[in-house]
Amino acid sequence: MDQTNILIEKKEKEVLVDHFTGRKYKDRLFLSAVIFFSLITISFVFLIIGAMVLKGYHQINWSFFTQVAPDTFTAMMAKSSGQLIPGGIVNGITGSLYLVGLASLIAIPFGVLIGIYLYENSKKRYAAVIRDITDVLQGVPSIVVGLIVYLWVVVHITHGYSVLAGSVALSIMMLPLIIRSTEESLKMIPDTLKEAAIALGTPYYKVILRVLIPTSFSGLVTGILLAVSRILGETAPLMLTTLGNPAINWNITKPVSAVPLLIWQFYNDPNMVDLIWSSTLFLMGFVLILNLLSKWIAAKRRF
């Protein structure tokens, strides 16, 4: 006992003398490093969005939203005479809305239904398999999704690049996001609520339609908005499925443009460079608004 005491006395001196200053110093140093690297992380947001705003704002005007993209010759002429490039990105905007709208039409109902299925059968092996496969699908690189849909739709169904192909590609990317967010927001509903409805003798389908879905509605909406904001900027899969179109197109079997596709096109055409940043700014603004909207809804929701 005494020996231990002496040993500990000795050790105590070590703590206080040898280690003390060094330890405090290391502690501070580490905190500074954490703050420093965190600042670097958030500085990228400023650098990227700042560059976009500075370079893009002057090209944003009325015609930007009402006219289709110019051809390269018009753009070159305007540039050489020192004017703003005429035209806009309305073919891209309408195309993006068309593609995303159609993709949502496919992905939302299926996603919500499958999400409910997973929630209802959470203990079943089959459901676990479906959940795992959904995770796999979510991890599939978007370019591979584009490639697959090319093989399915472009080759076999529309025999050419088309709105349908693009929407199918985007919907495959949305589906896992919606499934998982539906399941997660349903899981947040307390069991007691469900049991209360069942105890009243409510048929099960009504419990789902009248209790579960309304209660988790804002959760569902959050998930959907987030999914839409994710696919809005997708470019690679569209290059393989809808290609692009200089005019506005509403025919589902024909190619269509999209804002990200236009950006890619401008990037590859030295005469159009000026239009890149305004289009990017527009795209980013759109994505940002959806993001913030979903955050806002998520913050207000109860379940």
Binding pattern for the stretch 170-209 against other proteins, x by CB under 8 A and - elsewhere = --x--x---x-----------------------xxxx-x-
The answer to whether 5 contacts other proteins (rule: CB under 8 A) is: yes
Member of 60, 233, 247, 274 binding other proteins (CB under 8 A): 233
DSSP 58: G
Member of 75, 93, 232, 256 binding other proteins (CB under 8 A): 232
Compare residues 14 and 66 and give the one whose CB is closer to other proteins.
Answer: 14
**Rounded CA separation 96/102 (Å):** 10
The answer to whether 228 contacts other proteins (rule: CB under 8 A) is: no
Member of 227, 228, 263, 272 binding other proteins (CB under 8 A): 263
- How many residues in the shown chain lie near other proteins by CB under 8 A? 94
| Least distance (Å) between residue 75 CB and other proteins | 18
Give the DSSP letter string of 231-246.
Answer: HHT--HHHHTTT---S
- The residue range among 79-87, 89-97, 210-218, 258-266 that interacts with other proteins, by the rule CB under 8 A, is 258-266
Which 111-170 residues touch other proteins, going by CB under 8 A? 113-114, 116-118, 120, 126-127, 130, 132-137, 139-144, 147-148, 150-152
| Least distance (Å) between residue 158 CB and other proteins | 16
The answer to whether 98 contacts other proteins (rule: CB under 8 A) is: no
| Least distance (Å) between residue 50 CB and other proteins | 10
Which 9-28 residues touch other proteins, going by CB under 8 A? 11-12, 14-16, 19-20, 23-24, 26-27
Whether 143 and 152 have beta carbons less than 8 Å apart is answered as: no
- The residue range among 88-96, 184-192, 249-257, 281-289 that interacts with other proteins, by the rule CB under 8 A, is 281-289
**Rounded CA separation 74/275 (Å):** 13
* Token pair 């908005």: residue: 225
